[in-house]
């Protein structure tokens, strides 16, 4: 189908001190999957929020089926057939999955009371269509991040949108689950639904998309058919330069110096699997496996962020209990959480505050924080990790995902952490920023830091890790090193005992 369903003409948008979008033009056809690419901060999410009525454009026009439309708010866009799956979840944590599916449009009876049974049944049908099992009565804050992503997807699909925006929908999904989402997208495409697909996984573009539009620095950088381009051309269009290799070279031979962390035994729940692993100075140890395999749970349990049934841990050869994250931090263990905006940062506060907030004691004098010393330290650390911002007084929420991640890293360097746990460190980060994070991680290990890297992205596990602990069903089923660190061996181990 070649009929144009959506056209954006000359869309511009500014925020205080920032010109986010400059004269953007975009054309979407009925029944196509159209990729929208660009680095973090290029304007993709801002443009989509304008399309969905969340932001109002300063200039420009929106046409649907050739008719100009103006959206005063989100529900105007929904009424016009536009739906969005947000990158940052728009879920209410303490409402159930079913209630979140119908958020803002609850089914009610003549007395205004919710028809909960009907909503539960409809939500169950929506998840069945997606091919996922989610308890619709569970508050979403108790669901995994991947399950929350499917609630977000289910909510958008329940709107029966004719134009569907998918903003990083696969960021938390394993390849198998992502492929199931692509199957659903192909079915929607066959029904004439137009989809705008935003992803930093460029291989996905070639698997599911028909055309590509690229933004750079808030402006159009090009439009191309997927069949007429390749990864290198898209990257160069996105960043304005060639990136030859995302991954810095690994040290040879792999680090095998002092044993920093020796987890001799850890059992998360009674009668559950008992695991053990170790970590050496200057190495990157990968935790790989399918979503739900227990990677993050083991890392959090080790450092006291999640309860465990029992564990025996040596740090620098000495026994430690690690009962709480506070104790872990005092022992030199820091965490970059999977959801940096929710768990890792206070986005409404400055870079300076986010870097120093766990370590304000070092700046105290006479009971008062010496802000000059705090600012100097934060500025030096921000420079060290490569944070791009006008100053350390900039609000963290205005930064790109890659720069936000660097702020979290700077905080733990401020605390002089020797062990860093990176949980999905490049989730939602563009290709250019990924390369910077990878380089920074390797530089940290060269300074003697040790890193546990939990990741669902096989290429970065293979490209970055000196050893890889592979998880399946809550157990570490293999620890790979050297030539064994390859996608095939990792997936063979990760799928042991996994049934369809």
Q: How far apart are CA 475 and CA 275, in angstroms?
A: 6
**Same domain (yes/no): 188, 306:** no
**Same domain (yes/no): 276, 231:** no
- Angstrom distances, CA of residue 81 to CA of 52, 71, 197: 10, 12, 16
Per-residue model confidence as pLDDT tens digits over 234-274: 878 887 755 555 788 888 777 677 999 999 999 999 999 99
39 in a domain, yes or no? yes
**Same domain (yes/no): 219, 113:** yes
Helix ranges (DSSP H) in 197-282:
202-208, 231-239
What pLDDT sits at residue 468? 96
Per-residue model confidence as pLDDT tens digits over 195-214: 999 987 788 999 999 999 99
What pLDDT sits at residue 312? 96
Q: Which of 173-182, 382-391, 478-487 shows the lowest per-residue confidence on average (mean pLDDT)?
A: 173-182
**Same domain (yes/no): 172, 132:** yes
Mean pLDDT of 144-168: 83
128 in a domain, yes or no? yes
What pLDDT sits at residue 104? 67
Q: How many domains does the chain have?
A: 2
The domain that contains 146 carries what CATH number? 3.40.50.300
Mean pLDDT of 11-27: 87
**Same domain (yes/no): 310, 171:** no
Give the three-state DSSP class for 500: coil
Q: How far is Cα of residue 332 from the mean position of the Cα atoms in its chain? A: 25
Q: Which of 78, 178, 199, 174 is nearest to 130 (CA)?
A: 178
Q: With bands split at pLDDT 50, 70 and 90, how would you rate the model's confidence at 499?
A: very low
253 in a domain, yes or no? no
Residues forming a β-bridge with 26: 8
8 Å CB contact between 363 and 405: no
366 in a domain, yes or no? yes
**Same domain (yes/no): 76, 197:** yes
What pLDDT sits at residue 437? 85
Q: Give the largest CA-CA distance in the chain.
A: 72
b/e per residue 429-468 (b: at least 16 CB within 10 A): bbbbbbbbbbebbbebbeeebbbbbbbbbbebbbebbbbb
No. of H helices and E strands in the chain? 16, 22
395 in a domain, yes or no? yes
**Same domain (yes/no): 301, 154:** no
252 in a domain, yes or no? no
Indicate yes or no: pTM above 0.85.
no
Q: Which of 177, 235, 170 is nearest to 202 (CA)?
A: 235
How many CA atoms lie less than 13 Å away from 292 in the CB half-sphere? 12
Q: With bands split at pLDDT 50, 70 and 90, how would you rate the model's confidence at 341?
A: low
What pLDDT sits at residue 500? 38
**Same domain (yes/no): 209, 285:** no
**Same domain (yes/no): 234, 297:** no
499 in a domain, yes or no? no
Tokens standing for 6?
A: 């959506």
- CA dihedral of residues 409, 214, 42, 410 (deg, nearest 10): 10
**Same domain (yes/no): 269, 200:** no
Mean pLDDT of 470-493: 88
Per-residue model confidence as pLDDT tens digits over 390-447: 889 999 888 877 788 888 888 888 878 899 999 888 876 767 778 888 988 898 899 8
445 in a domain, yes or no? yes
b/e per residue 186-215 (b: at least 16 CB within 10 A): eebbeeebbbbbbbbebebbeebbbbbbbb
The overall average pLDDT reported for the chain is 86
Q: How far apart are CA 138 and CA 206, in angstroms?
A: 36
Which residue segment(s) compose the domain that 127 sits in?
Answer: 4-239
Per-residue model confidence as pLDDT tens digits over 42-60: 888 889 999 999 899 999 9
What pLDDT sits at residue 260? 95
Mean pLDDT of 112-117: 72
- Angstrom distances, CA of residue 441 to CA of 70, 196, 241, 246, 421: 46, 33, 22, 12, 11
**Same domain (yes/no): 142, 23:** yes
Helix ranges (DSSP H) in 158-223:
175-190, 202-208
Tokens standing for 407?
A: 């702020």
**Same domain (yes/no): 187, 314:** no
Tokens standing for 107?
A: 């089914």
């Amino acid at each position: 189908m070649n009929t144009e369903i959506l056209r954006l003409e000359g869309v511009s948008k500014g925020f205080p001190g920032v010109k986010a979008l400059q004269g953007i033009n975009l054309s979407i056809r009925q029944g196509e999957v159209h990729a929208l690419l660009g680095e973090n901060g290029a304007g993709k999410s801002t443009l989509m929020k304008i399309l969905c009525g969340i932001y109002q454009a300063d200039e420009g026009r929106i046409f649907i089926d050739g008719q100009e439309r103006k959206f005063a708010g989100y529900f105007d866009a929904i009424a016009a057939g536009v739906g969005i799956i947000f990158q940052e979840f728009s879920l209410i944590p303490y409402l159930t999955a079913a209630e979140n599916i119908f958020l803002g449009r609850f089914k009610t009876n003549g007395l205004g009371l919710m028809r909960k049974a009907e909503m539960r049944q409809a939500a169950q049908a929506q998840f069945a269509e997606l091919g996922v099992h989610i308890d619709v009565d569970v508050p979403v804050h108790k669901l995994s991040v991947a399950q929350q992503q499917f609630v977000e997807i289910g909510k958008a699909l329940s709107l029966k949108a004719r134009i569907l925006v998918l903003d990083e929908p696969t960021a938390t999904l394993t390849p198998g689950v992502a492929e199931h989402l692509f199957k659903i997208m192909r079915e929607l495409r066959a029904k004439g639904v137009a989809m705008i697909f935003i992803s930093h996984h460029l291989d996905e573009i070639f698997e599911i998309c028909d055309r590509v539009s690229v933004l750079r620095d808030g402006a159009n950088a090009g439009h191309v058919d997927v069949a007429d381009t390749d990864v290198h051309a898209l990257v160069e269009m996105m960043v304005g330069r060639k990136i030859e290799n995302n991954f810095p070279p690994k040290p040879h031979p792999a680090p095998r110096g002092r044993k920093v962390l020796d987890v001799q035994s850890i059992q998360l729940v009674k009668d559950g699997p008992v695991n053990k692993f170790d970590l050496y100075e200057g190495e990157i140890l990968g935790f790989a496996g399918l979503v739900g395999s227990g990677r993050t749970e083991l890392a959090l349990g080790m450092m006291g962020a999640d309860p465990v049934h029992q564990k025996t841990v040596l740090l620098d050869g000495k026994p430690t209990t690690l009962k709480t994250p506070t104790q872990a931090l005092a022992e030199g263990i820091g965490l970059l959480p999977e959801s940096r905006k929710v768990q890792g940062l206070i986005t409404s506060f400055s870079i300076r505050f986010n870097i120093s907030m766990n370590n304000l004691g070092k700046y105290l004098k006479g009971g008062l924080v010496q802000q000059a010393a705090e600012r100097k330290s934060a500025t030096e650390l921000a420079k060290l990790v490569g944070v791009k911002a006008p100053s350390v007084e900039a609000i963290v929420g205005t930064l790109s995902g890659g720069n936000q991640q660097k702020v979290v890293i700077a905080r733990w360097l401020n605390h002089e952490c020797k062990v860093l746990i990176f949980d999905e460190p490049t989730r939602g980060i563009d290709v250019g920023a990924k390369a910077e994070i990878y380089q920074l991680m390797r530089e940290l290990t060269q300074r003697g830091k040790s890193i546990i890297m939990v990741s669902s992205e096989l290429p970065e596990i293979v490209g970055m890790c000196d050893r890889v602990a592979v998880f399946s069903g809550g157990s570490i089923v293999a620890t790979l090193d050297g030539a064994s660190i390859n996608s095939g061996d990792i997936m063979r181990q990760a799928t042991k005992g996994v049934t369809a």
